[in-house]
Amino acid sequence: MSQSDYHMHYIITNYFEVYFLGSFQYICNSSAVVCDVIIMNAPRQLLRIQCIGCIARILGKPVQRVILPTGAHLQTPGSQHNYGQLLRPFHCSAVCSTSRPSRTQLEKTVEDETLNKDKSLVTHDDLFERAARDSKTKADFNRVVDVFSKKDIRRRGHVEFIYAALKKMPEFGVERDITVYNKLLDVFPKEVFMPRNFIQRMFNHYPRQQECGVQLLEQMENYGIMPNVETKVLLAQIFGEKSHPMRKYQRIMYWFPKFKHANPFPVPHVLPSDPVELARFSLTRIADDLDAKITIYQYPSTDITETGEEVMRPHIVGIQSPNQRSLLAKHNPCRPVFVEGPFPLWLRKTCVHYYLLRADPVPSEEKVEEEFDPEMMGPEQSLFYPQRLDLDLERDMGDDFRFDVDDVEEGPVYAMCMAGQADQVTLSQWISGLQETCPILGQIPTVFRLDSGPRELQTTSDAQQTPEQEVETDQITEEEPLHSQRVKQ
């Protein structure tokens, strides 16, 4: 219970104490009672015994005021009207775009539903199913919502409808669309569920509707959609300023902005569709080195040989930093390097695989101590300044803030790549590409240690990818304008 909730509760119990005592009556500044800014012990001070009788005043006057002070900007009839005016055309626009015939069909369905209400159970799920038998897009979804809103001025069954709509949203690919959520919220009749007196306010007024509103906001929250001002206006019109959905809204608005940039390595919602671009994105993400350079060793292409066979040439994209390159140049050619993989990398719901070129850690006996020339680095010898002092004094314990960390020695990783095919042929193409910058690779034995397990997994996922890809491409076409906009920005 938030602090303001607590206040309400506290004040209300006080009301009752006074009421049941029967002998006291109090007058208080009701606006102050409801206002959030009351400090904890304020109500107690406000309990002023001033005159006896007049229970009506407690019941009538404060309640009216209760609504007014906090929501004054919304509650004035004129402004409310204005909001409605503003919102309506906004929502209508989607309806205009729908095609005529399917609409009539849908209306018929709805009519059927209303007529046969007593006889058969036509769920709202069916409404969506029927509406969009062949295509499931945002326009279709909006059309269903519009039809529902238009068919009955009382909006009977709107709670069920909203629940059904929420469930269907991912199917239509609109689960991340704030305008659709607002449109759904607009299905609720306005002002009906607003508490009119303090008793209504005290108890859970229209619990099913409020619950439904909260559910809608919850779904938004789960998909990471931030409500906007329109949502707030709608909630205020439907449930009032102090309702549970409004509270939910306020909590979302409190936490969401705070957590918006909590992830320092965000993955975009729409991943690049081009496998080369995707590989480029994933590899830079793993490498986390601003110096690392992406090299595209091979673009994906399809060749047709003389015999008419189609030969797929998979993409090979690699990444290597200058440090890795110089490490590789120093590699002892007697020791082998390994091409290992595939290792999975999850980017939201997509899994990609990458391969490493690595070596075993250098055994301690082979390590060459970096030579240091006392003439160059030593005290009073250096040209510019000594790189080290010739003193027999260590850092004092009080100034030694190093942690005692056990270092685990690992072998160096020389390069990384992603390829369209997970076979040795493709990967050896990568290695030969690397040889251009690191000629020493030609002398080093290269061992391919490709795990079969994950590869099989990948092939199955490849097989599965076909339908998945379709869905994805659908989504991409749907959201392409948005994506391209972002690129432009």
Partner 1 sequence: MSVSLGRNVFAPRVAQKGDCLHHFQSRRFIRSSARSLTYAKDLFLGKVNKAEVFPFPEISKEELEELNQLVQPVEKFFNEDVDSKKIDHEAVIPPETLNGLKELGLFGIQVPEEYGGLGLSNTMYARLGEITSLDGAIAVTLAAHQAIGLKGILIAGNDSQKAKYLPRLATGEHIAAFCLTEPGSGSDAASIQTRATLTEDGKHFLLNGTKFWISNGGWADIMTVFARTEVVDKDSQKKDKITAFIVERAFGGVTSGKPEDKLGIRGSNTCEITFEDTKVPIENVIGEVGGGFKVAMNILNNGRFSMGSAGAGMIKRLIELTSEYASTRKQFNRSLSEFGMIQDKFATMALNAFVMESMAYLTAGMMDRPGVPDCSLEAAMVKVFSSEGSWICVSEALQVLGGLGFTKNYPYERYLRDCRILQIFEGTNEILRMYIALTGMQYAGKILTGKIKEMKKGNVGVVFEILGKKLKDSVVKTVDFGLTGKDGVVHPSLTESAKMFEQNAAHFGSTVESLLYRYGKTIVEEQLVLKKVADVLINLYAMTAVLSRTSRSVSIGLRNHDHEVLLTNTFCKDAHFKNNFLLTQLQKNSPENNDANIKKIAQEVIAKRAYVCSHPLDRTF
Min dist. Cβ of residue 370 to partner 1 (A): 12
Measured distance CA(57)–CA(61) in Å, rounded: 5
Q: Is the CB of 329 or the CB of 447 nearer to partner 1?
A: 329
Q: Which residues contact 244 (CB under 8 A, 6 or more apart)?
A: 204, 210, 211, 213, 214
Tokens standing for residue 272: 């690049």
Q: Is the CB of 159 or the CB of 217 nearer to partner 1?
A: 217
Min dist. Cβ of residue 343 to partner 1 (A): 25
Instruction: List residues near partner 1 by CB under 8 A.
Output: 226, 228, 253, 256-258, 260-261, 290, 373, 375-377, 379-396, 398-399
Strands (E), 234-321: 293-298, 301-304, 310-313, 316-320
Residue 372 DSSP symbol: -
Min dist. Cβ of residue 330 to partner 1 (A): 17
Min dist. Cβ of residue 442 to partner 1 (A): 26
**CA nearest to 147, candidates 170, 117, 124, 174:** 124
Question: Directed axis angle between helix 124-131 and helix 100-115, to 10°?
Answer: 160
Min dist. Cβ of residue 105 to partner 1 (A): 40
Min dist. Cβ of residue 265 to partner 1 (A): 13
Min dist. Cβ of residue 378 to partner 1 (A): 10
* Contact call for residues 397 and 320 (beta carbons, < 8 A): no
CB atoms within 10 A of CB 352: 19
Q: Is the CB of 309 or the CB of 371 nearer to partner 1?
A: 371
Min dist. Cβ of residue 227 to partner 1 (A): 8
Partners of 303 in beta bridges: 311
Q: Is the CB of 363 or the CB of 379 nearer to partner 1?
A: 379
Q: Compute the CA torsion angle 97, 102, 106, 112 (nearest 10 deg).
A: 150
Q: Is the CB of 261 or the CB of 349 nearer to partner 1?
A: 261
Min dist. Cβ of residue 260 to partner 1 (A): 5
Min dist. Cβ of residue 250 to partner 1 (A): 12
Measured distance CA(5)–CA(36) in Å, rounded: 9
Measured distance CA(200)–CA(391) in Å, rounded: 82
Helix, strand, coil percentages for the chain (3-state, nearest 5)? 55, 10, 35
Measured distance CA(359)–CA(329) in Å, rounded: 13
CB atoms within 10 A of CB 173: 18
Q: Is the CB of 253 or the CB of 413 nearer to partner 1?
A: 253
Q: Which residues contact 387 (CB under 8 A, 6 or more apart)?
A: 372, 376, 377, 378
Q: Is the CB of 133 or the CB of 388 nearer to partner 1?
A: 388
CA distances (Å), origin 254, targets 8, 138, 247, 264: 21, 29, 10, 20
